[in-house]
Amino acid sequence: MGHILIENLNKEFVEKRRQKRDNGNTPESGQTVTVLENLNLEFEAGEMVCILGPSGCGKSTLLRIIAGFDQPTSGRVLQDGKELSSPSPDNIFVYQHNGLLPWMTVWQNVELGIRHTADPGEKEETIQEYINMVELEGFEDHYPHQLSGGMQRRAELARALVINPEMLIMDEPFSGLDFLTHMKMREEVVNMHLYLGKTILLVTHNIDDALIMGDRVVILSGRPAQVNLNRKLEFPHPRDPKTAPELQELREEIFFMLGVSYAV
């Protein structure tokens, strides 16, 4: 489960600009912006796909369409042969910006994911296990506004991971985390993926995240987003691009592709 086929996907937005006229009217003029143009991609079931591309190229738009939150202008996305057109409870989306429910505590937010689990004792244990995993022990009864940005991201990750979804769609899940937490969460997601083998689509701005985590790395061009690189990464884990010459070479190629002349 979790095979994804993206066929001839196009997405246009009509940007509304207000123009002042001499007569005082302020009509809205529509300018069409093509964000995705004839995008074709295929992800194998169980793959961890890392998607990179310049800011504003359409990564979040692509994820939202795959998640069924937005409709393409034309083209389609198939999951296991079935067209995706509305959000599926089997797929979980981790937002680029905070997606926690503000009126619920950390515990309640995480609990949302497994509310259908029958055994209450087992459920409590699982919630606590994931809260501990993201190091939020002691903050179970805090509301999102009482947490730092990094703590909110960690709570959100716990909520996503506890669900054990068919497909996990993550839009910059590590943004706002401090360096060490970022490293730990990255390792956690890799381990979870190795263990569960679910399809994960992850957008990141961090090239090393993609190289260390991905079974496949996809680089999109600037808007309209087209596929500049689609490479399967068959390197064993744990990976370190600094010591693996092939990964190091690919790292430099990707930096160059994204407009940076030498890798840092």
Q: In the 8-state DSSP scheme, what is residue 225?
A: B
Q: Which of the choices Mg ion, ligand ATP, none does residue 35 contact, using the CB cut-off of 5 to 8 A by kind? A: ligand ATP
Distance CA 104, CA 21 (A): 47
Asked if 206 interacts with ligand ATP (CB under 6 A), we say no
Q: In the 8-state DSSP scheme, what is residue 221?
A: -
CB neighbour list of residue 52: distance below 8 Å, 6 or more residues apart: 59, 203, 204, 205, 207, 210, 217, 218, 219, 220, 254, 258
In order of 133, 139, 146, 163, 184, the CA distances from 151 in angstroms are 12, 9, 9, 19, 13
Q: Which stretch binds ligand ATP (CB under 6 A): 37-45, 51-59, 144-152, 210-218?
A: 51-59
Q: Which stretch binds Mg ion (CB under 5 A): 60-68, 158-166, 177-185, 248-256?
A: 60-68
Asked if 72 interacts with ligand ATP (CB under 6 A), we say no
**One character per residue 2-41, x = contact with ligand ATP (rule: CB under 6 A):** -----------x-x-------------------x------
Q: Which amino acid is at 130?
A: Y
Least distance from Mg ion to the Cβ atom of residue 52, Å = 11
Q: Which stretch binds ligand ATP (CB under 6 A): 53-61, 72-80, 175-183, 193-201?
A: 53-61
Asked if 255 interacts with ligand ATP (CB under 6 A), we say no
Distance CA 100, CA 216 (A): 29
The interface with ligand ATP within residues 156-185 (CB under 6 A) comprises none
Least distance from ligand ATP to the Cβ atom of residue 58, Å = 4
The residue among 220, 236, 186 whose CA lies nearest residue 35 is 220
Residues near ligand ATP (CB under 6 A) are 13, 15, 35, 53, 55-61, 96, 223
